[in-house]
Chain A
């Protein structure tokens, strides 16, 4: 089974802190994604990566950055956390490339971040 592991289930940070959310997948998937999930808004894509050291902005990249130094690891960084970044963050991975019809994503359990 595909396993996507997020380093923390719950995180509480203060406004202005630098926050790192880590995600590791064990299936050698090329693609990795970071979403935030808010009630009534579904999943919104922050950033994704289709290869090591490659990254693409999603729909809501402002206030976030990412790092993909190794294929299995994709980090989300909040340079200066703000209260409006309080949310559930979900990491996902997939193996199929652009142009192919399928893009099934495998998700981690999520990190619930509270910024006070």
Chain B
């Protein structure tokens, strides 16, 4: 079946460094991708999204890159801070109600 997966289940970075979280998707019909952040004790929160007609989108300290050729999505966090420690989920949507979530990557930020 279709799936969204992650290359690395955990990522540990030094405070101040940049973080890159990767995600592979398999549904070539997906036209919209979202990154969510889930902090301990909370539900996932929307971070940034990108449509399939774009390659890159920037937010505040975060950038999402989409490579449709290899069905790859990444989230880049600049100058990672302790508050960025969380589980990050990529998700894909094909225009319907359902969103397919990846398994998540846990980001640890070392002070």
Contact = CB atoms under 8 A, between A and B. Distances in A.
- Interface SS of A by simple majority: loop
A109 B103 contact: no
Interface residues of B, number: 23
Interface in B84-111: 89, 93, 95-99, 101-104
B41 A101 contact: no
* Residue of A99, A102, A105 most packed against chain B (CB within 10 A): A105
Contact of B32 (A50, A102, A105, A106): A102
Given A104-B46, A110-B43, A98 B95 contact: yes
Interface in A17-66: 31, 35, 40-43, 45, 48, 50, 56, 58
Contacts of B41: 109
A102 B103 contact: no
A8 interface: no
Nearest to B52: A101
Interface residues of A, number: 27
B34 interface: yes
Interface of A: 4, 31, 35, 40-43, 45, 48, 50, 56, 58, 90, 92, 98-110
Interface of B: 9, 31-32, 34, 41-46, 49, 51, 89, 93, 95-99, 101-104
9 contacts: A4-B43, A90-B43, A101-B51, A103-B34, A104-B34, A105-B46, A107-B43, A109-B41, A109-B43
